[in-house]
Structure formats: structure tokens, C-alpha cells
A and B are shown apart, each in its own frame.
Chain A
Amino acid sequence: MNTAAAGIVPEPIARQPWEMLIPLFALVGFGAAVLYSAGGGAMAPFASSHLLRFSIFMVMAMVIAALPRDLVRMLTYPAYIVVLLLLMAVEAIGQVGGGSQRWLDLGFMVLQPSELMKPTIVVTLALFYSTLPVGMTNTWRALLIPGGMVAMPMALVLLQPDLGTALAIGFGGAMVMLLAGLPLRWFLGAGLAGIVIAPLAFFYGLKEYQQRRVMTMFDPEADPLGAGYHITQSKIAIGSGGVFGKGFNEGSQSHLNYLPEPHTDFVFATMAEEWGFIGGLFVLTVFTFILRWGWKVAQASDDRFASLLAGGMVVTIFFYAAVNLMMVMGMAPVVGIPLPWMSHGGSSMLTNMICIGVLMMVNRWNQKAPRRGLGA
């Protein structure tokens, strides 16, 4: 669609990646409808602020999309250091909420720096690998420095403690490393090590409430009023929706407060109750479109930095969506990860719009310098 620029449509508009934007707008609009219902059938407080945030962050994404490559390369490491300092600041002076210390009150807004770290780590590693001499890709130096770059923010986020975000950062970093061409056996080795360490980490590393959440995933009915309540109620909401759902604004699970967090982490369950399987398929399809467009952008770039950057962003968005959906369907432990563009929440909207903005930026770079022939 972006290439089929007919004469009627002005060029700056036709240039936009509509094959991604239209599904995205649809998803955000759908999310607003679900939030309208979750808000008890009103725009306030969720739906209107959801749309407002999206508009603001869309503008921000366009600004990001307009950034020149050199500026991005130049700002990458400073940005990483700033976000890392913010994470340390959270540790020192951050606000405590919900049992962990994640937020930084900047006066005009409450910032969750760990969210910013997710796209930042991707950009940072992409830059690192694009500047790493090709011959060193399969040496230990290719792993040691980026490993430290990933481990530092992960450790800080784990201290908060926020396992979900820490995993997201680690996952994003690892995926960029994979795409950067690091030897596969390292990943296999790490996977094996993970299998060995996971039980140890479970028993000694996790807080009790985190352990309970993990256990709950395997048997939610064991503790129907405690940790299993979230998953049980979420499954009831999704399951009771059936094929076509109970109808807009008719979801009893969310309207009568049985479903916890119906507007944030469990927004998919709220949606599925009212829109059924059809609504769920729509959401999955939209994510497929957006992610597929992201991969196309990554593959279309001939620049190592840009393609790693795009791939990392796609993976970051995917991590959000997949973990959230697995969680609400009872296939993953309850970790506080919202669903991109549907959940109500500023920080996750910010992160995901940064990802989209970066993808649009890479897309623009691609358009300016179309891929040269075959090979590098």
C-alpha cells in the first residue's frame, strides 16, 4: 500500500506504512471500546485517556520516525546510560507501589524507567553489533560486553522487584544477539543452563508471591481465592464468552468486578467475554499483521544496525503480546505485563509506540535508500 501511491493521494500520506497503521488504529480503537466497557460503559476514565495517550505517543512515534540515522547512532549510548541512571534513581528514591519500587515521580508524570529500558537495550545492542568487527562475531568478546549491558539493567529491575520486565529486557537483548549472528550453540547452551538453573532460581531467587504465581499456573483451582483467583476468573471470562461473546457492555465478569484488573493486564479477558472467540481472532490477526510488517521492514533494510534494530523491536512487541495472552489464558504465570495497545497504561503505551516509531524510522530509512540489488 505504501508503494501504490496513486496520484490522488499526496505523497507524504501515501508514504506512510498503512499496512501496519490501519490494523494498529483498528486495534487501538477496539481497545478503546473494550476500555469503554471496562469503565462501566463510559469514556471516562479509561477509554478517553487511552485514545489521548495513543494520539500523543503517535505524534512521538512520527517524530522518532523522522530521526536521521546518524543522530540515532550518536544518541544511543548516552540514552542507555541515562536510562540506566534512572533505574538506579528508582532504586534510591523511587515510589513503592504494589510491593515493588518501580516508579519515578517526575512531577508532571510518573515514569517507569524499566519500561524505557526495553527499547533502549535493543537499540544499544543493535548499535554495538553493527560496530563490532564482523570477524569478532563468534568470539567471546561479542558476548561479554553486550552480556554486561543486558545484565546491569536486568539486575536493577530484579531488585525492584519486577520479574516480568527483567525477563522482557533479557529476552529483547538475547533476540538481538541471536539476530546478530552469535553462534547458535551458545543459545542452546544457555537454554540448557536455564533449564538447570530455573528450579534453583524458583526456590531461592523468587519472592514467595512470585513462587505462588508460578505454582498457580499449573493448578489455579488449588487456591481459588488467593493467587489462583486471577487466572480462574480470567479463564471464566474468556470461556464464557463463547464464539460471539456476551455482547458489548454485557460482560458480567468485568462489570461485576470478578475479573481483576479488567482494564490493564486482563483487558484481553474483558474483550473476549464481550466479543468472544471472533474478537480474540481479530486481536491475534492484528498482531500478526503488525509483526509481519515489522519483520518485512527488518528484512528490507540493508543496514546491519537498522535491521537488528527493527528485528529487536518486533521481538519486544511480540514478547509483550505473547506473554500477556498466555497469562490471561492460564498458560503462563501472572506477571504484570500489559497487552500492547489494548491495556490501559501510559508506560506500556510509551514503550510500544517507541517500538513502532523505531520501526517506522527504519522503514523511512529503507525508503530513502532502497536495498541495493542482491547480497551485501
Chain B
Amino acid sequence: MKSLFSRGKRNSRPAKIMNASILRSSFERRTVLIGTVQGGIGILLAARMGYLAIAENEKYRLESESNRVNLTLIPPRRGWILDRNGAPLASNRADFRVDIIPERLKDPEGTIARIGALLALEPSRIADIKDKVAGARGFQPVEVASGLNYDQFAALSVRLPDLQGVVPQRGFSRFYPTASSVGHLIGYVGPASAEEYEKDPNPLLITPGYKIGKDGLEKQFEKELRGVPGARRVEVTASGRIVRDLETREDIQGEPVRLTIDGPLQDYAARRIGLESGSVVVMDCRTGDLLCMASMPSFDPNSFSDGIGSVEYAMLRDDERVPLRNKVLKGLYPPGSTVKPMVSMALMEQGIDPKETVYCGGGLRVGNRVFGCWNRRGHGAVDMAKGIYQSCDVYFYAMAQRVGMDPIAAMARRCGMGQEFPLPVTSQFYGTVPDPEWKMKKWGREWQTFDTVNATIGQGYMLSSPLQLAVMASRLATGRHVMPRLTLDTKPKGFDNIDFPSEQVEYVRQAMSDVVNGPGTAGRARLPIDGVQLAGKTGTAQVVSLSISNGKSGPWKYRDHGLFIFFAPYDNPRYAGAVVIEHGGGSGAAYPIARDVMTFLFDPAKGMEALTALEKQWGGTAQQRLDARYAAYAAERGAAVSRPPRRDEEIFDRVEAEARVAAAQSQAIADDVIAPRPEANPSGTPPVSAPVEPPAATETQAPVVPEAAPAPAPVTDGGTAQ
């Protein structure tokens, strides 16, 4: 080629002698040149094509296949969560749903507005969706609505060509038949967050309509419940239109999880808590089965599954009764006098004869301080049984001085206080069992006499959760180291481990029976059932110092906690449990609930009768009241709520942090001597088998027992001033 060029140049340079023949030969040479270049390009093209079609054929065939075939995951149906009798606590409901995929939206605002109009969504819901779309990463589907009826679904489906990025489909949504009753226990499901997808980049997580467990058992058993997704291979066009089905594999539903929970009992207990804020735990003494772990008020997990709405979140968040906190596991309360049977066990273990009496004159002088009994007129001669059923503080002050704190703390731990249990829950607080070593480590201060005094009546630094109290009740009732269990596939544990000699167990059983059936503090807790006698122990825990509140009236958050631990039948315990009512004003708020729950357990009809009458006064079931409250709240504040946190985890963290702060509330007065609060019903007048209680509020405001109403004067002497 070079020669051709150079020759051409040479020919054209002697310009003067240019003639037709030179031009002709130049033309012929140049046609050959151009033809050769053209041939070269032709060969180049053939080579290039051979490279693409032969050498890289494999690669491009794969790419063409992945273009052509679209694999759609069919979200697996989630496994059911069943109660002990196989009734669903969480099931699936076939429904029509709509999701949007933000990445594919051309005009997010307009599209959402159109869907909103088509489905008649509330303005607050539309605002939530817009907010979520704005915050979502492209691949995350955002749920618009579920549970649509067929007409709505059809109306949307026919408009699909104009609504890019909108995915209507038939699917399954999670359904909790008892709604808020199981909210804290079961948790809820929701679309996977960006973090969860990063941790587990499973394409299933970003399949529209797929939800994962976000809280509670739903989260804990995610692996079992998830199941195996099905798949549909379809041939699609570039614009995503499905040409034909190639292959479909059905999904495999997740494994069911069988709980020890008794569904109806759980629901009953949750509803029975009524207007109060509190929790009820019931255990089976023979197996350790947790039959009921109710915590109220609660949220409706059904309405959480499409994301927590801003109005709903604001309402739950503003509520001082903290509906987002699972109080069974994360509520920590000073156990109050409910520790007395446990302390008795410690005393007997230390060789104290239960027959030995202590004279109670309304207070006990130790050194230069006087520690008051809740009954300032005194109980007279008090042995251990009377110490329990009359809840005499002086008896326990005196005996605890003798044995010291360490054996009592050890016994508290043996009974389950300060312990975590091997349960499939996302988190549980373990509370505090104080002893000298703990105090030195935590606060850097010496253990004081009044610390022992406070601890023996379950005040001061001592904190425990309702679950721990229930475990304590079952261990006291059986004398065995009962371990709680939540699923039927775990083995009952601890029954070969004997905690207490049987004569001591029987002694305490009798004393606790006398609390209810004898001359004790909870006479009105007697069961309206022949042949079944309830045994229990009341507790009233002071949360603020006397200078702030008398514990019975005034601002809700200053009122005393009401506690009650119990088991039945008293002589051959089958069920044990604990009821804790936050700021209920005293144990009088707690034991009527325990009585009704146990009544329901032995005789559901009788129990329901009591509840129905109460709910008439309260204005409906717990769920009905929650719905009504939501409607009222939305009507009043709907427009002005702030957005909920983007991530559910932030909500959990906030709830947990607040639970810790709340648990520390009573610590503020732990450095003081606690003036014990009157126990509710020491006269032991048996109830006239009246299943209908007056509303709890009345009960707490008007002390039932006249002689039990002390003047809120400080009982301790000036020795407290340090």
C-alpha cells in the first residue's frame, strides 16, 4: 500500500505534464486501492462476526436467555403460629394487594395520587406512601394496600398500562385473629428493610408482597416460618409483557410453630387487663408451659404489616401506657411484698422455725431508726404464715436482720429473679437482685441496713419482670426448679431439680392460700369455683417518694404498681402466674384480674360472664377500644403528626431505651427507706362470689379496707437524714 501511495504522489507532482493517460492509470490504481481497502474491511467484518458468533457465542447465548426468560419468585406462604391446641395465632389470608416499585415509577407523585383515588385511600395513608417511596432504595417494593376487594383489584388491573411500576397481585397476607391481644408476643411482619436485604441479599426479600418477621416470635422463628419460595419462569418481552409460561414451581409453606400459649386464655387475659396498663403471665406448673403472656395496651399487628402508619405511630408513641413495650419481658417493677414467700423460703433454709413469732407493733427499731410496717397499728405476734398472709413487714425486717442479705439474694435468684430464661424471644430484661457485692460494684457504696429492709419487702433496688414473678410463683408452688418454655417442641425442664423440701412447700402453700381464702390481704381474689382454691401473694410497689404522691391518687405515673403472684389449686398446684398492673394504685388492681383469669381457665363460661360485664363499662373489647381511639386520634391530630422513624429498628431501640429508663424510675427512691404501702384486703372478707368488679379506677381510688388507709405521713424517723 505504501508503494501505491508513494507512486501516486510521484505521478501527481510533475504537474505540468498531466495528461489523460496518466489520469486513467491513476484511476485504475486507485480503484484497486479502494477495492483492496474495501475487501479488507469485509474480511474484518467477517472476522468480527466470527468472533461474536463463535468465540463468544456461549456468553451471548446466556445473555439472550437471561433477556428472554424472567424468573418470578412466588413468595412462600408463611408458616402458621399455633397455640397449644392447634388454633392459629397467626395465619395467612388470601387477598389482593398492590405494591409499587419506586425504581420503575415514571411519575411517582402522579401515580400515587391516581392509585389513591382509585382505591379511595385516606390522605394520611397517601402521605405515608409518598414518604416511603421517597425514602426507599430503588429495589424495595412499597406496599400500597392489601386486603383489596375484587372490584378494586380489577379497577387497578385494567389501568396497568398507564401505571408503570405498580404491581397488583393475588397473594397471602398475614392475619392475626386476636389482633392486639397477641401483638407483643407474636410481633408482626413487614417488608425487609435495606439493611436486612444487605445482610441477606436474597432476591426473595425484595419480591413485592414478601414480608419477614419484624418483632417477637415472627422475627425469632423467621427461619422456620419462611418456607421455600416457588418460582415461575416466563418468557417476557423487553417491556416486561409476559408472552407465555415456561415452568412453574409451587412454593412450600413454612413450618408451623406450635406454642405453649393457650390462645383463648391469652386473649381473655389481654382483654381483662381492661383500661389498665399491665401484664398477665400464666404457667402450667407441671410442664413449665407459658399459657399466657399478655401485655396491654398493645398494638394491632394486622395494621403494622403494611408499615407503621404515621398517625398510628404517633398515637402509640404519645400514650404514656407505652403500647409498644412488651411489659411481660421488658417491664421491670419492684416486686413489693410478692417476694415475701420467697424470703420465707430463705429464712427456713437458714434454719428459722416458721412457728417462731415476732411482735409487730407497727414498726421495728434497728439501731437508731424505726422501720414501719404497712399497718401502723401493728399485727401483734406474727409467725411466718401470718407474716405472709397479713404481709407483715416487721416480721420480715426482723428475720432478715438475722440471716442477712446474701441468703435472701441467693434464694431470689434460685426463684428466677434476676435470671434470663432460655426462651425464643428477641430480648428479655433480667432485672436486679441486689446484694452487698452488687451495690458496691454498681454504686460504689456500702450495703446499709435499710437496703436489706427494702429488699425483704421487694423495694429499693430490687426489680423483676412479670415473667420472673410467674416463674417464682410456679417454683414456690411446686418446690421444683420449673423452667418456662414457649414452644411445644422443647422439653420441659427443671422438674427433677428440687428447690425446696416438701414440708416447707406445703407450709408456704397454706400461708399463700390464707392470703386469699383465709384472713389474708386478698380475700376478694377467691375463685367462684367449688373445689378450686387460689393461693397468692399481693404486692404494692411504691414508685416515687411519699413527698410526691401517696401512691393511690394523683398523676397516673406516680401511683403504686399493683402486683399479685398466684397458683391454683393451692394444695396441688396446676397453674401459677403473676399479674402486674403498672400504676394501678396497689395490689387491689392486680388480684381481681388474676382471679378472673384463673376462673376462665377452670370455667370459661363464668370467666367470660365477668369480662363481658366489665367490657360493657369500658366501651368494648381491647381491639374495639384501640380502633375507636385510633379513629378519634386520627380525626383530631391526623394532619399534624410527625413521621415515624424510617426503620422499624429505630422504633425498637427507642422502646427498649425507654423501658430501661422506666425501670430505673423506682431506683431514685432506693436510697431511701420505703414506707410500705397498705395491702388491699387484709380483713379477708370473702367476696359474695360477685364476678363483677367495680371498675378498677374506683377500686383504687377508694381504698376497700378502711383500717388499711394510713395517713401518708413518713413512718421512718429522722434517721433517714444522712
Contact = CB atoms under 8 A, between A and B. Distances in A.
Interface in B42-76: 42, 45-46, 48-50, 52-54, 56-57, 59-61, 63-64, 67-68
Contacts of A81: none
Contact of B61 (A138, A185, A240, A318): A240
A277 B49 contact: yes
B53 A178 contact: no
B586 to A, nearest CB: 69
Nearest to B17: A135
A179 B27 contact: yes
Interface in B9-25: 9, 12-13, 15-16, 18-24
B53 A318 contact: no
A256 B368 CA distance: 95
A175 interface: yes
Contact of A135 (B18, B67, B238): B18
Contacts of A182: 12
B201 interface: no
A237 B23 contact: no
A257 interface: yes
B56 A185 contact: no
Size band of the B side of the interface? 35 or more
A298 B56 CA distance: 40
A288 B41 CA distance: 11
Contacts of B35: 291-292, 295
A239 interface: yes
Given A134-B19, A137-B18, A242-B61, A329 B9 contact: no
A240 B238 contact: no
Nearest to A245: B53
Given A178-B34, A322-B38, A376 B48 contact: no
Nearest to B8: A184
A280 B63 CA distance: 20
B52 A238 contact: yes
Nearest to B20: A376
Contact of A137 (B5, B23, B48): B23
Given A134-B23, A135-B18, A272 B49 contact: yes
B48 A331 contact: yes
Nearest to B56: A239
A329 B12 contact: no
A181 B64 contact: no
A247 interface: no
A256 B38 contact: no
Interface string A290-328: 011001001100001001100100010010001001100
A243 interface: yes
A280 B67 contact: no
Interface in B544-592: none
A326 B238 CA distance: 24
A103 interface: no
B110 interface: no
A241 B38 contact: no
Nearest to B4: A184
B300 interface: no
Given A175-B34, A299-B31, A240 B63 contact: yes
Contacts of B63: 236, 239-240
B23 A304 contact: yes
A341 B59 CA distance: 30
Contacts, number: 154
Contact of A241 (B23, B39, B53, B67): B53
B60 A277 contact: no
Contact of B243 (A241, A256, A284, A329): A256
Contacts of B68: 252-253, 256, 258
A277 B53 contact: yes
B637 interface: no
A325 B27 contact: no
Contact of A184 (B9, B34, B53): B9
A273 to B, nearest CB: 8
A280 B53 CA distance: 10
A288 B5 CA distance: 24
A145 B292 CA distance: 101
Contacts of B15: 138-139
Nearest to A183: B12
A325 B41 CA distance: 10
Given A138-B12, A185-B9, A322-B38, A242 B54 contact: yes
A31 interface: no
B689 interface: no
B238 to A, nearest CB: 4
A44 interface: no
A239 B61 contact: yes
Interface in B226-259: 235-239, 243
Nearest to B46: A284
A96 interface: no
Contacts of A263: none
A284 B42 contact: yes
Given A138-B15, A184-B12, A238 B61 contact: no
Contacts of A179: 27, 30-31, 34
Nearest to A133: B18
B68 to A, nearest CB: 4
Contacts of A287: 42
A238 B49 contact: yes
Q: Which of B31, B46, B67 has the most CB of A within 10 A?
A: B31
Contact of B45 (A233, A273, A326): A326
A277 B9 contact: no
A142 B19 CA distance: 15
B18 A134 contact: yes
A119 interface: no
Nearest to A238: B52
B351 to A, nearest CB: 83
A339 to B, nearest CB: 12
Contact of A257 (B13, B49, B60, B238): B238
B111 interface: no
A375 interface: yes
A82 interface: no
A239 B48 CA distance: 10
Contacts of B53: 238-239, 241-243, 272, 276-277, 280
B52 A322 contact: no
B238 A256 contact: yes
Interface in B471-491: none
B419 interface: no
A71 B19 CA distance: 27
B668 to A, nearest CB: 61
A181 B26 contact: yes
A180 B28 CA distance: 10
A235 interface: yes
A243 B54 CA distance: 6
Contacts of B235: 252, 256
B236 to A, nearest CB: 7
B61 A325 contact: no
Contacts of A291: 35, 38
A152 B239 CA distance: 42
B19 A240 contact: no
Nearest to A331: B48
Interface string A164-186: 00000000000100111111110
A221 to B, nearest CB: 11
Given A138-B18, A280-B53, A236 B60 contact: yes
27 contacts: A135-B16, A181-B27, A183-B12, A184-B8, A185-B9, A236-B60, A238-B49, A238-B60, A239-B52, A239-B57, A239-B60, A240-B57, A242-B61, A243-B57, A252-B64, A253-B67, A256-B67, A256-B238, A256-B243, A258-B68, A277-B49, A280-B46, A280-B49, A284-B49, A288-B39, A299-B28, A311-B27
Interface of B: 5, 8-9, 12-13, 15-16, 18-24, 26-28, 30-31, 34-35, 38-39, 41-42, 45-46, 48-50, 52-54, 56-57, 59-61, 63-64, 67-68, 235-239, 243
Given A235-B60, A329-B49, 6 more contacts: A240-B61, A243-B54, A258-B67, A281-B46, A284-B42, A291-B38
